[in-house]
Structure 1
Amino acid sequence: MKAIFNHFNSLGGLYNVSQENLLDTRIFNDEIKLIEEYLKRDIPKLLWNILKKYQGHGFNDEVGFNVTTNIPILGNSTFLEFGQFLSLCQEASLYLLDILENNSDIFGHDFLPFAEATPGDYIALNISEQSVYFISHDFSDNEQSQIKIANSLKDYFLHLCKHTEENRILEKTPRITSVEYSNDLLSLMQKWKNKETSNKER
């Protein structure tokens, strides 16, 4: 836990987005119990501690996670922004239990969202796997709504980083995404390969 808290501080710290009152321990525990009853599973201690300290908070700077899996909604970007931790305050617009219940078609009882990413999309823990997923609420028939981005909560939290100007420039740089060769070029390459191979055999 200490390593994660220190890492968050190194990223510029967090602030209370909607200026909600901090929940006292009893109310927080009651809210956690409601979530666990809904999921029929216990919330892992690491996430419990993170939500206790940071529910309703966002980072002071532009922070996110560099994904290695293609996420269509990001386009060419590999930087998945961190919006804010979901709240356990019932009056909050990003109230965790409401989000779970209102999106049961994409979360089921396997995923526990803990943060908003791009507006309306979430970062969630797969409770069975203990891995972290990006969950999209708006996707086409040929796209996945659940995309794995980290093997564990600890891996996800410790690899959050600031979005630097250098990363923005790299994202705008054109990249080769596919290559096609003409039949003529393939024929020339095959002839060259045959010639080189036969020369080495002599």
Structure 2
Amino acid sequence: MNWITKKVEEIGGVHKSNVAIEKLISCNDFEIHHKVSLDKDFCDFIEELGFKDFNEWIKTTTIDQIPIFTGKVCDYHKFYGFGEGEQSIDYLIELTDQLINSNDYIPFAEGASGDYICISIKPESKGKIFYMHHESDDEDDLYSVANSIRDFLNNSFKDNQDNDDLSGDLISGDFIDDYFD
């Protein structure tokens, strides 16, 4: 059992999304099409978890405090995959291209309230994981989550009572709008 499968099973497992996948492609094909070089761990992660959802919402600890959460955590549940269709990374790149530079960040998971979790492909922060508010308009609205995809998954846990000190509850919408104006 590889490190991804082991951790995913530990925190509740995943199921295939109910979204039609028009076409699957390999990480290598994605890299060629987008003229990028991705970390092997990230490719393995997406090839295993792409187009899947966790069976319940999951939290991960974060490096930065994300303004819409209490505590240094964030929620996520859905992974986008290499391919074509509404739950593909390519679809997300098109959707978020006006928000962030897809030459610098690749969104790969969905967080709370339609926010995104991205991996940096910028040379100075390559492989680091960031949280992006869905209405962000520049890199100032990116928050550091983990130093690698391994750290991101290894710092993930089920949302349960044992983690009250890391509650990560969403702050109300009125406060959210103030943070990102």
Alignment TM-score, normalising by the size of structure 1: 0.68
Instruction: Report the counterpart of residue 177 of structure 2 in structure 1.
Output: none
Aligned to 1:98: 91
Alignment of 1:37-116 (within 5 A): 37-38=33-34, 40-74=35-69, 76-91=70-85, 93-105=86-98, 106-116=100-110
RMSD: 2.9
In structure 1, give the amino acid aligned to 2:135: D
Q: Per-residue deviation at 1:34?
A: 4.3
Q: Deviation at 1:116? A: 0.9
Q: Quick one: higher RCO (CA 8 Å, sep 6+), 1 or 2?
A: 2
Change in 2 beyond 3 A, CA 1:36/1:21: same
Deviations 1:16-58 (A, max 9, x none): 12165696xxx422x75245433x2122221211221211111
Question: 1: CA distance between counterparts of 2:166 and 2:149?
Answer: 27
Kept in 2, the 8 Å contact 1:111–1:125? The answer is yes
Aligned residues between the structures: 164
Q: Does 1:134 align with 2:128?
A: no
- 2:12 aligned counterpart, secondary structure: coil
Aligned to 1:161: 157
Q: Which runs of 5+ in 1 are unaligned?
A: 173-202
Return structure 1 stretches of 4+ with deviation > 3 angstroms.
19-23, 166-172
1:160: Cα distance to partner? Answer: 0.9
Higher strand proportion: 2
Deviations 1:105-128 (A, max 9, x none): 313301111111123211111123
1:79, distance to aligned residue in structure 2 (A): 2.9
Q: Would the aligned equivalents of 2:4 and 2:45 in 1 still touch at CA under 8 Å?
A: no
Cα distance in 2 between the residues matched to 1:52 and 1:145: 28
Flag the 1:43–1:102 CA change in 2: closer, same or farther, 3 A.
Answer: same
Q: Tell me, what secondary structure is at the counterpart of 1:107?
A: coil
More helix by share: 1
2:143 paired with 1:150: no
Q: Is the 8 A contact 1:136 1:145 kept in 2?
A: yes
Q: Between Structure 1 and Structure 2, whose CA radius of gyration is higher?
A: 1
Q: Is the 8 A contact 2:16 2:52 kept in 1?
A: yes
Gaps of 5+ in 2: 169-181
* Percent identity of equivalent pairs: 21
Measure, in 2, the Cα distance between the counterparts of 1:73 and 1:36.
36
Partner of 1:198: none
